[in-house]
Structure formats: structure tokens, C-alpha cells
Amino acid sequence: MYSEKVMDHFMNPRNVGEIEDADGVGQVGNAKCGDIMKMYLKIEDGIIKDAKFKTFGCGAAVATSSMATELIKGKTIKEAEQITNRVVMEALDGLPPVKVHCSVLAEEAIAAALQDYRRRNGLEEDDRYKGCSGCCGGCGSVEMHHGTENDEEAE
Amino acid sequence: MYSEKVMDHFMNPRNVGEIEDADGVGQVGNAKCGDIMKMYLKIEDGIIKDAKFKTFGCGAAVATSSMATELIKGKTIKEAEQITNRVVMEALDGLPPVKVHCSVLAEEAIAAALQDYRRRNGLEEDDRYKGCSGCCGGCGSVEMHHGTENDEEAE
Amino acid sequence: MQKQIIYFDHAATTYVKPEVFEAMKPYFLQEYGNPSSIYSIGRSNRKAVEDARISVAKSLGAAEPSEIYFTGSGTEADNWAIKGAAQALRKKGKHIITSSIEHPAVMATCEFLKKEGYDLTIIPVDSEGLVHPDDVDKAIRPDTVIVSIMMANNEIGTIQPIKEIAQVCRKHGVLFHTDAVQAAGNIPIDVKDLGVDLLSVSGHKFYGPKGTGVLYIRKGVRIENFIHGGHQERNRRAGTENVPGIVGLAKALELAVENMDAHTRKLTSLRDRALKGITERIPYVRVNGSLERRLPGNLNVSFRFVEGESVLLMLDMKGIKASSGSACTSGSLDPSHVLLAIGLPHEIAHGSLRLSFGEINTEEEVDYLVDSLVEILDKLRNMSPLYEDFVKGENKNV
Amino acid sequence: MQKQIIYFDHAATTYVKPEVFEAMKPYFLQEYGNPSSIYSIGRSNRKAVEDARISVAKSLGAAEPSEIYFTGSGTEADNWAIKGAAQALRKKGKHIITSSIEHPAVMATCEFLKKEGYDLTIIPVDSEGLVHPDDVDKAIRPDTVIVSIMMANNEIGTIQPIKEIAQVCRKHGVLFHTDAVQAAGNIPIDVKDLGVDLLSVSGHKFYGPKGTGVLYIRKGVRIENFIHGGHQERNRRAGTENVPGIVGLAKALELAVENMDAHTRKLTSLRDRALKGITERIPYVRVNGSLERRLPGNLNVSFRFVEGESVLLMLDMKGIKASSGSACTSGSLDPSHVLLAIGLPHEIAHGSLRLSFGEINTEEEVDYLVDSLVEILDKLRNMSPLYEDFVKGENKNV
Ligand SMILES: Cc1ncc(COP(=O)(O)O)c(C=O)c1O
Ligand SMILES: Cc1ncc(COP(=O)(O)O)c(C=O)c1O
């Protein structure tokens, strides 16, 4: 079902973790849909010096997170904005049709983290980023995603 | 599907043929249903001295004809009248349900031949015999069976 | 009574070819996973199913593998096509067209829909068993939802002008289904060239396994699902895939298409040999169906004055397996509806024999068949009151 | 990554046992005749089918072999039972009752009928997945035509009080169907004692072949046919009989019933060993379904903060095959409707794993599974933003 590249990035994900003093943090998706991506960026002089992620989700979600962080590291913000879900998918040698939404999530997670960076730095917000298109139609803005439905107790 | 007895009487039918100077001849069934039995009886002093048959029909039709002639040979007319389809079937170790009508036909062929004998000899006709019950519901009296739908040309 | 079995009933069912069996085997014992599973044992199964789909698509000339749906039988494919189309197009109308010589899988399905309130037009056939496209043209109404005409008949082997009928249907914008259960693997099929919308196949007519079938659904054609449930077959036919069955069907069809020329030559030659022997040596015989537009392996003859089952049983005692009408309808008292439809009187229809030749048959077997028939017909006619009447009538005429 | 495969997904499908395969084999290659034929090769097939029917009747406790109908899958049996009853009883009404944890084969069939204008009542289950007979009692209306409640659930293994539900239905004179696809061959079934009217079975859940099923129809119960066509199965299910499949299903069920005690002991012990290992060594785990009324081989657990497919894939990399929810529904984005029905929040339902043990499994395999899960959960939770939030929250609370 998954390409070898996907399986490689799933089994050996690059850039897993947090960045304590991140310059931008974005989280998209929600637990209801089964996918949450949280992206941490370290940005210096408009260049993405480091990127890390945490992901709750399926194999494709983990692999696209991993690939997306790989693709944006060392890029300028402008360049990072060009990393669409299509680019991530191609870098992974494709995804099964039912998993395409995961790559959309990766694109949106980057966008959300960049938006957070702009906001923190008083930069003009990118009106291209209108919030997540929604893995399952239920998503709203970045803030809304954060921590939703994450407070129920497992027995 | 058929018992060994049925197959034996089908493959080696007893009493096939005509009796030139028969005392009673009966024919039942019709070609439309795929079964016709013609029974010839030689009767002396109220005893069936000989019985022969010709049958157009399936394995069960041939076997019941054969068994029926065997059963009535040497019997008095009264005794022969007791040979119901059930008796013929039992003597053959049974028939598949869809073939039970063939044994009815055998009973009726005997009855028709005996009726013919009575008629020829001015004896009282047996009101028990009302004509064939019909292998396929389409039959009427003995006369009607005779030769019906038997005149179409094969190409 | 000889011990060896001579099988002339390949239209009823075929054995599974050893190559086909070998292809199926691993999917029973080792590669048994569920194709819907995401792990690797399930994935190899998934691949086997999708490879089979590609292969069947190629064998039938489909534009895309996604037009191929695996079913549990030819009958299921027929039910699905007709009921599914009727249901999907309810708003358009409730009129169905079929022919008078369809297999019960189509005929009983149409009769069921008739009971449900559908109008049913049954197109007659000519004396060779052919449907005339013009008759279809005339029968189509604005409320017609589907036309179902079989590609090749299972009893008399007649091959219909499917391409022409498909054109008529397309002209009217009406869905066209063909039951190709007897055709598939026996004559070339190219669904694109034929222009059909729906086409049914059954695995066990070309040396594949029983309990397997295919419904071809042309891309863009929407019919209602028939078996509802899980997401198998792209949400259109539910039930855990019969992986060995699917692999076997595809392999068998592949082999059949590969060997089509040799198969046709061999079966036609056996058929013609039998035909010649029978008609030369047995009087009062009628050959049923078209001699030109005919399945290579099919021969259907009527022997006057005798009844078919008797002939079959006596052949069976000689080790020869054949059929009288369709195997499916044995047990019924009525003679074959197909033989009646081509105009045979009942008593002659009753005396009919279907011989369907296959790849294992030999000329020696055919010669033995003819010898056996000569002997059997002699015996049965001597036992027949109809023959007696006929001979007496003849003698009178002399 | 180890090469050997460890299969813990027997609820999705099983391999075919070698004895079963051997029983099927002759019907592919030698005894290939059509059971509807009258000649001897067909007759031996007929006998094989009828012997299988007798055997299945015995295995299920049916009063008569004639109550057993062979189908092309468990899904087909479910479709037939529900649609057939609905159609036959249309005059009585258009109300159907089912439960919230049915397999898609039942659920999608009911949804289809709903689209056709039927009223559908879906009975909820409690937190263990149990249907309460009282709820069925209350749901039955004068226009109810059928109640369909599964015998044992495919995801959480819960066994329903079928006898009690059947009594409720009988009291009201309403037909009762149970999908026993997961139950058959795994727990004892006695249709007479249960008092059900209709019961579905699938061959590939107890080491029999895929693409085979059974519908038990109690004597006297009249439902409309589902697959129309030839006269097979006493005119009630058309299509050339899948003789090897039927023989295989019967043989597999026979073996399962014979070995039921040992099977139950072994699977329960493996299941309990896994349960103990997992709950002792992994925190934040929830066990789903009843521990008392449960299929012996079923274990269903939810791991908080992680997503099920990731767990499955990592297990797969270690050679371990399991399932997350039902195999049939993988490919869907929604978490299992069964887990939601027993009250799990979405995110916890997403992190669920179904382990279904089988006769080939060993204690060593179970121990390896537990070790693997410990390692995998550690890795995935470290990658999970939900776990990060949870830990930070915990820390804050300290
Ligand atoms: C409870 C239940 N019902 C029905 C089915 C469908 O059976 P089949 O796959 O044979 O169609 C399954 C399994 O797939 C099942 O687990
Ligand atoms: C023309 C035709 N259609 C349909 C069928 C039904 O196929 P199956 O037996 O696979 O259901 C048959 C044969 O049985 C057939 O000959």
C-alpha cells in the first residue's frame, strides 16, 4: 500500500521532537479525524534553520511530517511556502488516494507554523493561508485545532 | 439419482414389444409432456397371460413400464387392478420425487389396457378408472392420448 | 459398461486446469491474508487480486481494470447487472427487454422484476436462435431501462449480433447487458469493440473454478450495488474477496485467450466430425441452431421418437457424459424453452441432446460417441410407441 | 525486522487447513461435474453437496439438512436474509431492527433498505457491547418485518444473548436473523436451542475457503430469493454450486466443532496471556468489550495517544499481523463504529488494536507480541503531540 520511501520515513522518521525555543509553532488536524501534526520551526534571517515535528496519526501522516520537515530545512520562508502537499507526496513516491489528506495536513502544518512566526514578529500575515482545509471537514482555524478533544480520560 | 433396480429395468427392460393379437391395448401420456406408455395385454380366463409395452420417455418411464408388466403377468384382472403406482415404485426401490408421475402413468396404462379389454368384451367398465390423472395436467381420456401431437415432422 | 469417462458436457462445467489449480493453491494455504488488511500478507493478496483484475481487463478488451468486478458466480453477475440497472434507473422507467432464449440467470431475474411491477418485453428469435437487432430497435421505449441479450446460447450455441444490438441500444441511450458466460474463453470478446455497457462471465466455463464470476461495468455506467456490506471491489461488491477463486478465474481466462485459435480449430473439428457421423448414420435427426454463428464446441441435435433423458442415461452407461437442454433445468418436466423458442414441437424438443466438446476430447472419443448413439437410438426407437406409429403410417403409405 | 510471520488476525480470515484443502482438491480436478447433471460424474458431485449439507446441519444443530443453503459469502447470506425477509413481508410492514455494532454486511444492507423507504431502528449497546433483549422488545412494532442482531462481534468479540433475543422476537411473531459469521466454528451453535429463524455463516473464519457461506433458514420460514436463476439449492439460491467450496466449508466446520473444547482452551489462554502482558507493561490502555461474554480468540485494546494504523504498521515490520477495527473497513477515515457505539471517544477509538488468535499461535509468539508492543508504544508516544500535551498537563498538576 505504501511506497518504500513512505515506509522508510515512517519507520525512521527524521526530525521527531520539539524545539524548546521555536520561532514558530503550528498544529493542525484533530484527534477526531485521527491525525494531528505539530510543527516547530527555528528561523534565522528568513531561513528555516531547524524543523521538528510531533504527529499523532497513521503511517502516511508520520511520513509526510518527516518528509515535509526535511524539505523545508535550510529553505527561505518564501521557498518553504512553495512546498505544497503535491511536492511532499512526490518526494515520497506517492500516497494511496485515501491518504492524500495527510499530505495536505503537512502543507497546512508548515503554513500554520509560518503564520505563527509572522504573528510573533508582527509581519504581515499571509492571506493565502486561510486555516486548514480540514482532514475531515471538521477543522477550523489553527487555534481551534490546538488541544481539541484531547481531554478525555482513557480508562 | 435412480436406484440400481431402476437402472436395471431401464437398461434391460423386460417385456418390450407389441402383442399382435392383444386382448387389450392402452396408451396414456402424451408427447408434449415427454412420456407415452402403450401397454399390450394377452388375457385368458381372466388371467393376464402376457404383457408387453412400448414407451417414449425418461429412464423412470421405461423402468416403471418394465416393472409394471412384470408385476401383472400371471395375475388375475382383479389382482392387476391392485398394482398401484405405489406398488410399482416400491418394487423399484423408489423414484426421485420429480419422477413419481411416471409411476402414475404406469398404473394408468394398465388401467387403460384393462378398460380396453372390458370394452371389447362387453364387460362393465370400471368406474374407478376415470382416465389419466395427467402427467402434466394436460391429459384427458385414454382416447385423447392416443396419437396426440404425434404428427409433426422432424426436419 | 466401460470405466473410462468421456466428457462431452463442457458447457455445463469444466474441470479446473492443473496450471489454474497451481496458481490458486498458494492462496489457500500460505497467502491467505485478507486483501483488505494493511499488513504485508494482506497486501500480497491485494496485489494478486489487482493483478487478476488487470489480466481479466486485458482478456476482455476493457479500457481499464477498474471496469472489472469479481462476483461469486455468473448468475450473481447477471442478477447484479439487471437488478442494479433497474434500481438505478427507476426514475427513468420500468421497462426491461430480453430475449426468449436467455439462461434462467437472466430470465428468472427479469421475471422477478416483472413481479415487482416492471414491464417485460421478450424478443423472439428466428429458427436458428438469432435475435434481430431491428426487433430490439422496435421494442425500445422511452421508459426502457435495460436490454439484456446473451452473447452465446448455452444450449444451441448460437452467437448473437451483439455489436449491432449494442449500437441500437446506444442510439436510444439505453443500457445494454450481455450474458457472456458461454462466450468468454470460447470466442474472442472485446468489450470496447462490442460497445456493451455490462457483460457477465463465469469462471467454470473455461477451465476455471466454480463459484467465481465477473461483471464488466463500463466506466461511467452507474448501477445500484447488489450485495451490500464492506468496501471491497471499490465499494461496489461487498464480501471478503475469494482470492484463490479470483486468481484462478483470471489465469484460466488468460490461458483461454492465449489458446483461442487452437481451441477453436480443435473443437470445431471435433464438432463437425460428430455432426457428420450422427447425420450420416442416424435417420430422423434435426440439428438445432445456426451452423455459421455458433460456439465452436457446441452441437445440439434432436432425435425423433425418443426422449432425451433416456439417451443421456444410456450414454452415461457407456461412460459418455452429455446433456439434454441445460444442466440447470434438468429436473423440470418441460422441455427446453430454447428449443421451443426456435420452433421445435414439444415431442422433438424432448428428444434433444447437447454435446459440448472440450480440450481433452479426441477423435476416437467422438467416433465412439457416434457408434454408441447408433446403437442407443436403435434400441430406444424399437421401444418407442411413437416410432411404431410412424413406421405403421409409413407402411400404410407404401 | 524478522522474516517469520506471526498471524494474529484470524477474525479477518484464516488459512485453509490442509485437511480441508485435501477434501476440496478432487472436486477441482477429477470430480468436476455439474451437480445438476443427471449422469454419474454429476451425481457424485450432487452427493458431495448433499453430504456437506447434512454435515453443516449437524454442526449447527439444524433440524433438517434442507434448512441449510450454501451461498457465495457471509455477506451474501446476510443480504439474502434481510432483503429476502423484507421483500417477503412487505405487506406486513416496512420496519427493520438491528444493532449499532453490526458488521457492514448487515448495516449497509439495512441502510440500503432505509433508502428504499424502510424504517430502521438501531438498538444501542452498553459499554461492553451488549444488546439488551428488553430494548429489542420495546423496539418491535406491528410493522416490524425482521430483527437482525449479530451473534458475536467481529471487533470486540462480544457474544450477544441470542437465545433471549430470539424469544422476544418469537413472542411478537417477528422473524429473527443473526449474523453468526464470527461465532460459527468458534463457539457452540445450536440453532434449534437458540430459536433463531435465520443465521449466517462464512467459510473463511474457521479455516475453510473464502467465497463460501451458509444461510440457515428454519423450516417454514419464507423469504424471497436473492439470487434468481436456475433450480439449484431447491430453487432458492441460483448459480452452479461451488462444489469444492461447499465441501471445504462443511469439512472445516466439522473439524471446528470436533475441536471446539481444545480450541477454546488454547485461544482463551493465549488471549489472557496477551491481555496480562499488555496491561501490566503498557500504561494508558483500555480493554474493549466484555471479558466474560467474549469470543475466545478476541482481544481488543485501545492505546491512548497513538493512532492504530501506526501500531499496525510497526507490528507488521516485526512480522506481526493484526488489525485495527475490522479489516473490511480499513481505508476509511472514521474510527470503528463499534468502538464509538460502546462509548469510546474518537481519539481513543483511533488508537485501537484487534488481536485475534488462532490455532497456529504459540505462547512465544504472544510474548514477542507484548515485547514488540512495549517498544512500539514507547516510540509512537514519544512522537505524539497528544502525549506531549498530556505529560505537560500532568507535570503542571504536580
Ligand atoms: C460479523 C461478520 N459478518 C459478516 C462478514 C462477511 O463475511 P464474508 O467476508 O464471507 O462476506 C464478516 C467478515 O468479513 C464478519 O466478521
Ligand atoms: C449462459 C449462461 N448464463 C449464466 C450461467 C450461470 O453461471 P453460474 O453457474 O456461474 O452461476 C450459465 C451457466 O450455468 C450460462 O450458461
- pLDDT tens, D149-186? 999 999 999 999 999 999 999 999 999 999 999 999 99
Q: Tell me what pLDDT residue B127 has.
A: 60
Give yes or no for residue B142 having a pLDDT over 50. Answer: no
Measured CA to CA in angstroms, residue D28 lies from C242, C257, D243 at distances of 15, 21, 8
Segment C116-135 shows an average pLDDT of 98
Segment A88-101 shows an average pLDDT of 89
Is D156 strand, coil or helix?
Answer: coil
Which helix H or strand E contains D301, and what residues bound it? strand D298-303
Range 37-96 of C in CB contact (< 8 A) with A: 38, 43, 46
Indicate the pLDDT class of residue C40, thresholds 50, 70 and 90. Answer: low
Least confident of A125-139, B68-82, D230-244: A125-139
Q: Tell me what pLDDT residue D396 has.
A: 65
Which chain A residues touch C if contact means CB-CB below 8 Å?
1
Q: Among this protein's residues, is A102 annotated catalytic?
A: yes
Cell of residue A51, nine digits: 524543523
Which helix H or strand E contains B100, and what residues bound it? helix B100-120
Segment C159-170 shows an average pLDDT of 98
Mutate to test the pocket of ligand 2, among C14, C73, C75 (most ligand atoms within 8 A of CB): C75
- pLDDT tens, C309-351? 899 999 999 999 998 854 334 455 678 899 999 999 988 999 9
Q: Residue A5 and residue A51: Cα distance in Å, rounded?
A: 20
Q: Just give the CATH number of A4-120.
A: 3.90.1010.10
Q: Please tell me if residue C386 touches chain B, with a CB cutoff of 8 Å.
A: yes
Segment A137-154 shows an average pLDDT of 31
Going by the DSSP 8-state scheme, the letter that residue D86 receives in this structure is H
CB contact under 8 A, B31 and C347: yes
Q: Tell me what pLDDT residue B144 has.
A: 29
Q: Tell me what pLDDT residue A141 has.
A: 30
pTM for the complete prediction?
A: 0.91
In the predicted model, what is the mean pLDDT of chain C? 93
- C and B adjacent (3 or more CB pairs under 8 angstroms): yes
- pLDDT tens, C241-254? 999 999 999 999 99
Judge whether D384 and A145 are in contact, CB under 8 Å: no
Identity at D2, one-letter amino acid code:
Q
Taking each helix axis from N to C terminus, what angle separates C40-60 and C243-258, rounded to the nearest 10 degrees?
30
Q: Tell me what pLDDT residue A103 has.
A: 86
What ranges in chain C are assigned the alpha helix state H?
18-24, 26-29, 40-60, 74-88, 104-115, 133-139, 162-172, 191-194, 232-235, 243-258, 260-281, 308-317, 337-341, 346-350, 363-382, 385-397
Catalytic residue, candidates A33, A132, A135, A139: A33
- pLDDT tens, C192-207? 999 999 999 999 999 9
Neighbours of chain D (3+ CB pairs under 8 A): A, B, C
Burial bucket for residue C214 (CB in 10 Å: 0-12, 13-18, 19+): buried
- pLDDT tens, C62-102? 999 999 999 999 999 999 999 999 999 999 999 999 999 99
Ligand 1, pocket residues at CB < 6 Å: C 239-240; D 73-75, 78, 103, 105, 150, 154, 179, 181-182, 202, 204, 213, 328
Segment A131-153 shows an average pLDDT of 35
Higher pLDDT among residues D326 and C259, named by residue: C259
Strand order in the sheet with C119-123: C68-71, C213-217, C198-202, C175-179, C144-148, C95-99, C119-123
Using 70 as the pLDDT threshold, list the residues of chain D that sit under it: 1-3, 38-42, 325-333, 395-398
CB contact under 8 A, B55 and C385: yes
**Bridge pairing between strands A35-44 and A47-56:** antiparallel
Ligand 2, pocket residues at CB < 6 Å: C 73-75, 78, 103, 105, 150, 154, 179, 181-182, 202, 204, 213, 328; D 239-240
Q: Tell me what pLDDT residue B138 has.
A: 33
Search chain C and give the residue with CA nearest A2: C38
Q: Tell me what pLDDT residue C396 has.
A: 65
- pLDDT tens, A48-85? 999 999 999 989 999 999 999 999 999 999 999 999 99
Q: Tell me what pLDDT residue D221 has.
A: 97
Those residues whose C-beta lies under 8 Å from the C-beta of residue C237, and which sit 6 or more positions away, are C69, C70, C71, C80, C215, C225, C226, C227
Q: Is the dihedral of CA C130, C136, C139, C145 positive or negative?
A: positive
Measured CA to CA in angstroms, residue C9 lies from C66, C183, C286, D42, D240 at distances of 33, 15, 19, 10, 14
What ipTM score was computed for the predicted complex, to two decimals? Answer: 0.88
Q: Tell me what pLDDT residue D201 has.
A: 98
Q: Which residue among D302, D331, D386 sits closest to A31, beta carbon to beta carbon?
A: D386
In the predicted model, what is the mean pLDDT of chain B? 82
CA angle C246, C249, C253 (to 5 degrees): 145
| Domains of chain B by residue range | 4-120, 128-155
Counting ligands in written order, the one closest to the CA of C238 is: 1
Map A98-139 to HEC letters.
Answer: HHHHHHHHHHHHHHHHHHHHHHHCCCCCCCCCCCCCCCCCCC
Give yes or no for residue B36 having a pLDDT over 70. Answer: yes
Picking from B83, B89, B143, the residue whose alpha carbon sits closest to that of residue B112 is B143
Give yes or no for residue B141 having a pLDDT over 60. Answer: no
Q: Residue C17 and residue C22: Cα distance in Å, rounded?
A: 9
Measured CA to CA in angstroms, residue C375 lies from B7, C307, C361 at distances of 18, 15, 21
Strand order in the sheet with D285-287: D285-287, D298-303, D352-356
What phi-psi label fits residue D116: left (phi over 0), alpha (psi between -120 and 50 degrees) or beta? Answer: alpha
Q: Tell me what pLDDT residue C42 has.
A: 66
Is D177 strand, coil or helix?
Answer: strand
Judge whether D122 and D100 are in contact, CB under 8 Å: yes
Is D95 strand, coil or helix?
Answer: strand
CB contact under 8 A, D347 and A150: yes
Q: Which residue among C305, C309, C385 sits closest to B38, beta carbon to beta carbon?
A: C385
Which helix H or strand E contains D42, and what residues bound it? helix D40-60
